[in-house]
Amino acid sequence: MQNSPAFLLFVVSFAAFVVYTGMYGFRKPYTVGLYTNWTFLGISYKVCLVIAQVLGYMISKFIGIRIIASIDPKFRIQGILICILTAWVALFLFAIIPAPYNIFCMFLNGLPLGMVFGLVFGFLEGRKTTEIMGAFLVSSFIFASGLAKSVGKWLLINIDIHDFWMPFIAGGVFLIPLLFALWLLKQTPIPSSSDVLVRSERIPMNLKEQKKFVTQFGWLLLPVVISYMLFTIVRDFSEDFANELWMETGYIADAGIFVRTSTWITIFVLIIIGSFFTIKSNFKAFVYSHILVILGLLLSLISTLLFYQQLLNPINWMILSTAGLYLAYLPFNCLYFERMISSYEIKGNVGFVMYIADAFGYLGTVIVLLVKEFISIQFSWVFFFSLLFIVAAIGGICLVLFTLVGHLKYFKLSKQVI
C-alpha cells in the first residue's frame, strides 16, 4: 500500500471502520432480544447476559494492558482474526446450550472481543492523520452499535428466528466484509519519518517502561480513569438497554430506530473529532480535547434537563444527549492519549494507557449493573437513563477540569513549549 497521506486517510480509515463495525456484529445483536421467560439466581436473564459479556470484556481489557502495549505489530491481523472467530464460536455455543447454562457463553464471547480495538488502533496511531483515521474508527462505536442491533431486530421480526440463534446468524452477516477489511488493513505501512517527527515514535512498551509511565502520570491519570468510568457506564447502558428504552417510549416494533439515531450522531461526532487534525500543536490539541469533553457533557446535561421540561421529544433527547456523551467518551479512544503521548514525547504507544482506562470503565459498568438489579426501588428506563446522564455530566466536568489544570501546570514544569 502506498504511504501517501490521501491513501492512508481513505483506505485505512475505511478498513479500520469496517473491521470494528464487523466486531460489533459479533458483540451487540443479542441485546435486542428480550429473553423474558428466563431468570438466573433471581436476576433477570438478560441482565445476566450483559453482566457475563461485560465481565469477559473487562477481563480482556485488564489483560490487554500488558498485551496490547507489548505486542509485535506483525501479529495484529492474526490476533484480530482469532478474537473474532473465537467470539463467533461462543455465539454458536450460546445457541445450542440451553438457558440459563448458556450465560457462560456470553462471557466467552466478550473475552476475546475486548482486544480488538487496541489491535486495530495500533495501525492508526503515531501519524499526522491519526485524528481523522481515529475519528472514523471511533465513530464506528456509534454507527456499528445501531447497525448490529438493527440487523438483530430485523432477523427477529422478519425471519422469526429464535432469540438464541439470532446473535450467531447476525455475526455471519458481518463476517465477509470484516475479512475483506482485514486484508486491506494488513497492507498499512508503518508511520513515516515525518509522522515520527511530529507525533513521536510508537514502540512496544516493556514492564519497566509501563511502570515508569504510571509513576510519572498516575496522579493525572486517576481522574481521567474515574471520569472515563462514568462515561463507559452510560455508554454501555445506552447500547445494551436501548431496546427497552425505545419500547418504553413507544417504538416497540421499529427496527430502524437504532440506525436512524446512530447515523446522525456518527456524522456529527466524526466531523468534530476529525477537525482536530488541523491543530498542529500537540499540546494545544491535548488542551482542546479537555474542552471538547466538557462541552459534550454540557450538551448531554442540558438536553436531559430540556427533555424533563418536555421541551424535547424522546428521539431528539437521545440524539443530543448521546451525541454529547460520545463527544466526551470518544476523544479518549482516538485523540486524548494520542496527543498526550506526542506532547510529552513519550516513546511508547496509546494502547497501554487506553486499556487502563477501558479496564476500569467496564468494571464500573459491572458494578452498576449489579447494584441496579438488586436495588429494591423500581423505576423506569427513562428515569434511569436521565439519572446516568446527569451524574456522568456533573462528575465528568469536575474531574476533567481538575485534569486540565494539572496538565497545564505539569507541562510548564516539564519546560515544554506550546
Domain with residue 302: its CATH number is 1.20.1250.20
- For 387-416, the pLDDT digits (tens) are 889 999 999 999 999 999 999 999 888 754
3-state secondary structure the chain: CCCCHHHHHHHHHHHHHHHHHHHHHHHCHHHHCCCCCCEECCEEHHHHHHHHHHHHHHHHHHHHHHHHHHCCHHHHHHHHHHHHHHHHHHHHHHHHCCCCCCHHHHHHHHHHHCCHHHHHHCCCCCCCCHHHHHHHHHHHHHHHHHHHHHHHHHHHHHHCCCCCCHHHHHHHHHHHHHHHHHHHHHCCCCCCHHHHHHHCCECCCCHHHHHHHHHHHHHHHHHHHHHHHHHHHHHHHHHHCHHHHHHHCCCCCCCCHHHHHHHHHHHHHHHHHHHHHHCCCHHHHHHHHHHHHHHHHHHHHHHHHHHHCCCCCHHHHHHHHHHHHHHHHCHHHHCHHHHHHHHCCCCECHHHHHHHHHHHHHHHHHHHHHHHHHCCCCCCHHHHHHHHHHHHHHHHHHHHHHHHHHHHHHHHHCCCCC
What pLDDT, on a 0 to 100 scale, did the predictor assign at position 392? 94
Mean pLDDT of 246-262: 65
What pLDDT, on a 0 to 100 scale, did the predictor assign at position 259? 66
Higher pLDDT pick, 358 / 263: 358
What pLDDT, on a 0 to 100 scale, did the predictor assign at position 1? 54
The reply to whether 111 falls in a domain is yes
The reply to whether 68 falls in a domain is yes
Domain count, the chain: 1
The reply to whether 399 falls in a domain is yes
What pLDDT, on a 0 to 100 scale, did the predictor assign at position 40? 83
- For 80-105, the pLDDT digits (tens) are 999 999 999 999 999 999 988 999 99
Domain that holds residue 187: 5-413
Reported as a pLDDT band with limits 50, 70 and 90, residue 418 is: very low
Helix residue ranges, H only, 241-256: 242-248
The reply to whether 418 falls in a domain is no
The reply to whether 162 falls in a domain is yes
- For 362-383, the pLDDT digits (tens) are 888 888 777 766 765 566 778 8
- For 56-71, the pLDDT digits (tens) are 999 999 999 889 988 8
What mean pLDDT value characterizes the chain? Answer: 86
Phi and psi at residue 316, to the nearest 5°: -65, -35
pTM value surpassing 0.85: no
List the one residue out of 140, 43, 59, 53 whose CA is nearest residue 102. 53
